[in-house]
Amino acid sequence: MKLLLISLSILILGSCSSLSNLNQVNESLLTLKGGQSDYQKWEEKLSFKRHSWYKGATLKYDLLIAKLDKDSKFYNWLGRSEKSQLAKCDSFYIVLTYAASLRSAKTSSSQVTRNFNVVGLKEIALPIFSSSLRNHYFTLQWNLKKHNISGMCKTNNLSDIEVHVPNYETIRVFK
């Protein structure tokens, strides 16, 4: 029995140590349900495509993207100046980015922005929308408080966007 416990312990420790060197990218879908703006409430959903870069079991980078249509109720979260900037866009996306450390946060944001700019997306600051999103239970539920929130404006035909993170597989955000 004692030998069995020791063998199990070695097996578990060995599998954990091998996981710590593993770089992987996971893709999932997160859905924000309902919202409120002034006296309006809605039950509409806003779906975010999520790409997460892990080193072992530790989240290193995170990217969430949702297309925001002008007829969406979540459009009400935009401020007047944000809406005027969006008027010039053919399509608009809400983008959340995260990097695990302060040193890599700027690198992660610039990598995403650079990849998006190459295919014709322009980054737009969203202070009013960000405030509404940060106060939604969705942000706490999915542990997104440390994510940077911005918008991406498309003014031409959108092709695939590839995001490159050193030592990880390249991912396609839009297929």
Question: Are the CB atoms for 129 and 149 separated by under 8 Å?
Answer: yes
Domain ranges (residues) in the chain: 23-172
pLDDT tens, residue by residue, 115-156: 777 677 888 999 999 999 999 988 888 889 889 999 999 877
Task: Return d(Cα 48, Cα 175) in angstroms, integer.
Answer: 15
Comparison of pLDDT for 79 and 159, the residue scoring more: 79
**pLDDT recorded at residue 94:** 94
Phi, psi torsion values for 109, nearest 5 degrees? -65, -45
pLDDT tens, residue by residue, 90-100: 889 999 988 88
Confidence of residue 2 (pLDDT cuts 50, 70, 90): low
Confidence of residue 19 (pLDDT cuts 50, 70, 90): low
Helix, strand and coil in the chain, % to nearest 5: 35, 40, 30
pLDDT tens, residue by residue, 22-47: 889 999 999 999 888 888 898 999 99
For 20-143, where are the alpha helices, taking DSSP H only?
Answer: 80-86, 102-118, 127-134, 137-141
Compute the half-sphere exposure of residue 158: CA atoms within 13 Å on the CB side of its CA.
Answer: 22
Task: Return d(Cα 171, Cα 158) in angstroms, integer.
Answer: 16
Query: What percent of the chain stands above pLDDT 90?
Result: 34
Confidence of residue 173 (pLDDT cuts 50, 70, 90): confident
